[in-house]
Amino acid sequence: MDLFEAIKNRYSYRGEYKEIEIPIKHLKQVVEAGLQAPSGSNKQTTSFVIVNDEIILNKIREVLPKVKPIQTTSAIILCIMDKNPEQIHGNPHYEIEDCSAATENMLIAITALGYASVWLDGILRSDQIAENLGEIINLPKTKTVRIVLPIGIPTIDGPRPDKLPFDQRAWFNQYNGE
């Protein structure tokens, strides 16, 4: 799929998925897109666990009972970063940037392959959800699950939120916003 088409077609899908198996080849292709994202000082701080085993999927479903795509998906990608990232060159670390860039690459790759996903993030940071997910995938205590992406084929055409027009968020040569 054309890059600009994939970027335009990506959206956050929060409904149920069709019952299908996602080919391993597609899952690898999505994660390869994540691996190719840039990272601060090329530290490649993000790692990935792809869950497609039904027993592990069920454990994850128990941790996120209200999230429809998680309940109905056959594959989930968990994005891992350090729990307490070290500084780089005296500057703050870039692990959130690294993880986010990798996630965006994966989201548009998911779109290009005919699936939809949703960037699950804040929900992991309450009720020990990130910690519980970490235990399920055998994560060391020095790491944390930062972002979770379910993958599947939507059963409905989900709503697209409105986006502000160009001239409310972008300007030439001088800032012209609030």
Q: Which of 96, 129, 131, 155 binds a copy of itself (CB under 8 A)?
A: 96
Q: Which of 21, 86, 138, 156 binds a copy of itself (CB under 8 A)?
A: 138
- Two tokens at 141? 């205590």
Task: Pick the piece of the chain touching a copy of itself (CB under 8 A) from 15-23, 66-74, 83-91, 150-158.
Answer: 83-91
- Cα torsion 145, 149, 150, 156 to 10°: value is 150
Sign, CA dihedral 12-158-154-33, equals negative
Task: Pick the piece of the chain touching a copy of itself (CB under 8 A) from 13-21, 63-71, 90-98, 148-156.
Answer: 90-98
Nearer to a copy of itself, 52 or 155 (CB): 52
**Residue 27 CB partners (closer than 8 Å, separation 6+):** 50, 52, 75, 77, 151
Count of CB atoms situated within 10 Å of the CB of 53: 10
Position 144 contacts a copy of itself (CB under 8 A): no
Nearer to a copy of itself, 133 or 152 (CB): 133
Residues 118 to 137 in contact with a copy of itself, rule: CB under 8 A: 119, 121-122, 125-126, 137
